[in-house]
Amino acid sequence: MRTRLRSAALLLAFTLVGAGLLGCDQGGTSPPMTAEEARRQIIESASGLQGAAATFEQTPLARLSEAMMTSGSEGRTVSPWGKALTSGLGAVLDTTGGNFNYDASTGVYVWNPDTQAWRQERPADSLILRFPESKGAPSNNATFTLSRYETQSVPILGPTEEVPTRVGASLSVDSTEVFALDLKDVSFMSIFGIPKSFSLDITADSHITADSLTYTTSLKDSQGRTYEFRDDLRNNGQLVTATTATVDLSPDDAEVEGTTQVGQDLAIRYTADVGTPSAFEDASADEISDRVSVDVLLQGNQVATLRYDGSAEQVIVAYTDGTTEPLSDLLREIGVPGGAS
C-alpha cells in the first residue's frame, strides 16, 4: 500500500493528461537553466510528495491496509486475515441482485475471531463494523461507519450499473476518528454515463501524532460543455499538490488546459487541442503528441517540456539546455520505484 500511494502521489503531477500522450512546446528561461540544476530543483520541489506519503504511513488507515496485505511470489495479495474479514461480510450484508443494498444491510456488526465470522450485535440506522485494527490486536478497537450511501442507475458502455452518488464514511480507532470520506454532488451525462460533476473530501489523521492529510477534489459543469476540475492535497496544512484544469467538450473543437502545482516552486502546465473525436481515430502517437503541450516550470520559469518519443515508446523530458532523458529516469530519481512503469 505504501508503494502504491507513493507512486500515485508522485505520478499525479506528471501523468495527469495521460502517459504516452504528451507533446512539447519548446521554450526557455533567461538565462537557460542547466539540466543538472533543473533536475536538482525538481527533485527538491517534489520532496513534499514523499513527506505526504510518510505521513500517510503513520495513519491507522495505512496500518490497517498493510495488515490486510501480504507479500508472496505473486506480489502483494490480500492476507488470510484480510480475506476472512472481507469475505465474511457476504454472509451479513444484502447483495440481492448483485448490488449492495445499503438500507437492508444497516446494523452494528462485530467480528468474532474465534468463529472467524461477523455477527449482528444490534440494529442501527448506519452500517457499523467493529473489528481489530490488526490481526494481533487484543480487541475490536477499530470501527468503520458507513453513515450515508446512495446510488444512481447509470448506463456504462451499454449495461446499467448502480454508481455511488452520495457516500459518507469514517474509520475510528480507540474511539478516535482517523479517517473520513464525503462524496456528494455527483451527476452524469445521460447518454454515456460520464461524470459531469462531483465533490470529494478525504481526511486521514495519525492516531498518535497531530499529523493529518487532507484531499479535496471536484468537477463542475459550468456551461454545459465546459468542465472545471480542481483538487488539493495538503500535509499538515501545507500544500503538496493542487490542480486546476478546464475541459471543453465542444464537438468541433474540444480542448483541455490546466496547471498542477507541486509544492511552492514546481508547476506542470499543459494544454491539449483534442479537436474532433474523429481526429484521433487513425492518428499516430506522434500526431496525437503534436496536439499536446506539457511544460515544466520552476518559480514560473520554464525549465523543461515533456514529449512522447514514438520510436522509443516513452515519455521524454527535454530540458531547455538541450539535454533529454526518459521521464521514468527522473521519476526514479524522485523516488518512484521502477520509474513511470
Q: How far is the C-alpha of 219 from the C-alpha of 183, rounded, in Å?
A: 12
Q: For the chain, what's the residue count?
A: 341
Q: How far is the C-alpha of 89 from the C-alpha of 87, rounded, in Å?
A: 5
Q: How far is the C-alpha of 8 from the C-alpha of 80, rounded, in Å?
A: 26
pTM of this prediction?
A: 0.81
pLDDT at 27: 41
pLDDT at 221: 87
- Taking alpha carbons only, the member of 125, 160, 174 closest to residue 146 is 125
Q: How far is the C-alpha of 171 from the C-alpha of 130, rounded, in Å?
A: 10
Number of H-type helices and E-type strands within the chain = 7, 18
Give the pLDDT of the chain (341 residues) as one tens digit per residue. Answer: 343 333 333 333 333 333 333 333 334 445 678 999 999 999 999 999 888 988 999 899 998 998 888 876 677 788 888 999 998 998 889 988 888 999 999 999 999 988 999 999 999 999 999 999 988 888 999 999 999 999 998 887 677 888 999 999 999 999 999 999 999 999 987 766 778 899 999 999 987 777 899 999 999 987 677 899 999 999 999 999 999 999 887 777 788 999 999 999 999 999 988 776 666 666 676 777 778 899 999 999 999 999 988 888 899 999 999 999 999 999 988 876 555 44
Q: Please report where in the chains the cell 481489530 appears, as a residue.
A: 132
pLDDT at 191: 67
Q: How far is the C-alpha of 228 from the C-alpha of 222, rounded, in Å?
A: 7
CB 45 within 8 A of CB 266: yes
Count CB-CB contacts under 10 A for residue 231.
Answer: 18
SS3 for 23? coil
285 sits in the region (left: phi over 0; alpha: psi -120 to 50; else beta) called alpha
pLDDT at 24: 35
Q: Please report where in the chains the cell 510518510 appears, as a residue.
A: 54
Query: Grid coordinates standing for 235?
Result: 500535509
